[in-house]
């Protein structure tokens, strides 16, 4: 595989304030685009959209992250035991705990979205507050499926895992110009990689 380390730019260097303004501008444009589409059905524009936006390059739902699932795995049984100890019937306590778990999982569902300006990981219950994990596309350096290349930084997981998904590792620069890596489990790695890079992604070496 070709070296996937970030390459020096031939463009004139930007000052920190210019780089920050560019990052912020790309994020605002990304938000305007993705907020015109339904969270549940990413191919459908909202009725409230004032003009027809460009189609999203890629969008897929991801389950809640490991932290949320881990906390629920501990909290649901504890809640059930507490309710039973306070005189609630066993089946009712279990039913309420399961219902609350499902609701929390639903509102904690992620959507990885690649627009024409960047990528973000929006959370269903907080989507209108912020666009989490935003990265402009110009900061993306490479993407590879399956195994993390040995010379890349340690990768952080975005979202959770579902059966039938494949791992894609993404090398990028953060807003300070430092190389970082994240990985995500997606059902269509080729489409995801092409949406990010504008070309087929590399295969692991």
- Render 137-153 in DSSP notation, one character per residue: GGGEEEEEESSPPTTSP
For the chain, the domain total comes to 2
In a domain? residue 87: yes
Contact 183, 149 (CB under 8 A): no
Q: Where are the alpha helices (DSSP H) in 86-118?
A: 90-107
- Which helix (H) or strand (E) element contains residue 78? helix 66-85
pLDDT at 16: 80
Domain co-membership, 92 together with 117: no
Domain co-membership, 80 together with 158: no
- The torsion angles phi and psi of 10, rounded to 5 degrees, stand at -85, -10
Nearest to 182 by CA among 205, 191, 173: 173
pLDDT at 48: 75
Domain co-membership, 180 together with 79: no
Confidence of residue 96 (pLDDT cuts 50, 70, 90): very high
Answer yes or no: is pLDDT of 109 > 60: yes
Tell me how far apart the alpha carbons of residues 196 and 201 are, in angstroms, rounded to a whole number.
Answer: 9
Nearest to 161 by CA among 53, 38, 66, 26: 66
Please tell me which residue, 181 or 10, carries the higher pLDDT value: 181
| pLDDT tens sequence across 134-184 | 999 999 999 999 999 999 999 999 888 888 899 999 999 998 889 999 999
**Once rounded to an integer, what is the mean pLDDT over residues 102-129?**
84
Domain co-membership, 131 together with 97: no
Owning domain of residue 85: 66-107
pLDDT at 190: 94
Confidence of residue 29 (pLDDT cuts 50, 70, 90): very high
**Once rounded to an integer, what is the mean pLDDT over residues 112-125?**
90
pTM for this one?
Answer: 0.80
pLDDT at 6: 45
The pLDDT mean for the chain works out to 86
Contact 179, 171 (CB under 8 A): yes
Contact 134, 192 (CB under 8 A): no
In a domain? residue 149: yes
pLDDT at 127: 55
């Amino acid at each position: 595989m070709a070296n996937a380390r970030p390459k020096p730019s031939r463009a004139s260097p930007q000052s920190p304030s210019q780089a920050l303004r560019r990052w912020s501008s790309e994020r605002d444009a990304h938000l305007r685009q993705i907020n015109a589409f339904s969270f549940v059905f990413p191919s459908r524009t909202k009725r409230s959209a004032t003009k027809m936006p460009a189609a999203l390059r890629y969008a897929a739902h991801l389950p809640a992250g490991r932290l949320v699932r881990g906390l629920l795995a501990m909290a649901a049984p504890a809640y059930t035991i507490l309710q039973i100890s306070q005189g609630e019937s066993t089946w009712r306590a279990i039913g309420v705990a399961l219902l609350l778990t499902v609701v929390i999982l639903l509102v904690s569902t992620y959507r990885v979205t690649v627009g024409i300006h960047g990528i973000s990981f929006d959370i269903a219950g907080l989507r209108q507050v912020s666009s989490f994990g935003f990265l402009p596309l110009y900061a993306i350096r490479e993407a590879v499926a399956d195994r993390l290349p040995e010379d890349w930084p340690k990768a952080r997981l975005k979202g959770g895992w579902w059966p039938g998904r494949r791992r894609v590792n993404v090398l990028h620069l953060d807003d300070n110009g430092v190389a970082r890596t994240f990985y995500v489990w997606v059902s269509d790695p080729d489409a995801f990689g092409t949406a990010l890079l504008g070309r087929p992604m590399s295969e692991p070496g």
